[in-house]
Amino acid sequence: MTQFLPVLYSFRRCPYAMRARLGLQSSQQQCELREIVLRNKPAPMLESSPKGTVPVLVLNDGIVIEESLDIMLWALKRDDPESWLVPERGDLDSMLTQINRCETNFKFHLDRYKYAPRYENVNSLEHREKAEMFLQELNQQLTGPSYLFGEKKSLADMAIAPFIRQFANVDRVWFDKTPYPYLKDWLNEFLNSPAFKNILHKYPVWQKGDSVTLFPLAP
């Protein structure tokens, strides 16, 4: 039976791959998980997705979903038991707009803050300051509700939180001193949640011929 499951190529620490796994886990859309290392990408993955980034979901009919948000939406549109696509406040379009700001402007500055030596003429602290504008937006949004779009978690929370985690971990001492109490509470709740801890389980690197690793495990 497992040979007919979709195949997910993933990398444990990648925030894009994290959120894809969060979506699949919430919807209980089981797949064959293939954990990779980015410096040695397996040939079957590159044949399905030549761009060579994770996550990649290969469906039974051969369709390839190469973007993490698209994987989340694919899974949740099949089954959304936690109603991530139906927030208490706003709507799906509002969430997608905010997620897009995270993926574009915020991620641009996050990369240059975290990986400054990879770029020419980059001041990491200047990019940290510019990235903080998004943190300020999130902190303000969380002043009242527990989550970004109400009192229950939604697609926006789960699609954005892995990137805020990545930002915070660049310099955790500095981040812990920032004046964003609501954002930090929200992030800590995410980091300590069973959902996040479950998707951080460490799997062996996949090699051709290995037995199938199921993800998520049946509840």
CATH numeric code, 92-196: 1.20.1050.10
Check pLDDT > 50 for residue 1. no
Q: Any alpha helices (H) in the chain, and if so which ranges?
A: 15-27, 43-48, 68-78, 92-101, 107-114, 124-141, 155-170, 172-176, 181-191, 194-199
CATH numeric code, 2-83+200-215: 3.40.30.10
Check pLDDT > 80 for residue 65. yes
Query: Which two tokens mark 208?
Result: 């051709």
Which amino acid, residue 123? N
Kindly report whether the global pTM for this prediction surpasses the value 0.85. Answer: yes
Which of the four pLDDT bands, split at 50, 70 and 90, describes residue 202?
Answer: very high
pLDDT at 114: 97
pLDDT at 2: 43
Q: CA-CA distance, 77 to 142, in Å (whole number)?
A: 26
Look-up of token digits 């209980």: 28
Vertex 175: Cα angle to 192 and 23 (nearest 5): 40
CATH 3.40.30.10 intervals, the chain: 2-83+200-215
pLDDT at 128: 98
CATH 1.20.1050.10 intervals, the chain: 92-196
Give residue-wise pLDDT tens across range 97-121: 999 999 999 999 999 999 999 999 9
User: Which residue, among 193, 179, 131, 190, has the nearest Cα to 156 in the 3D structure?
Assistant: 190
Check pLDDT > 60 for residue 162. yes
Which of the four pLDDT bands, split at 50, 70 and 90, describes residue 4?
Answer: confident
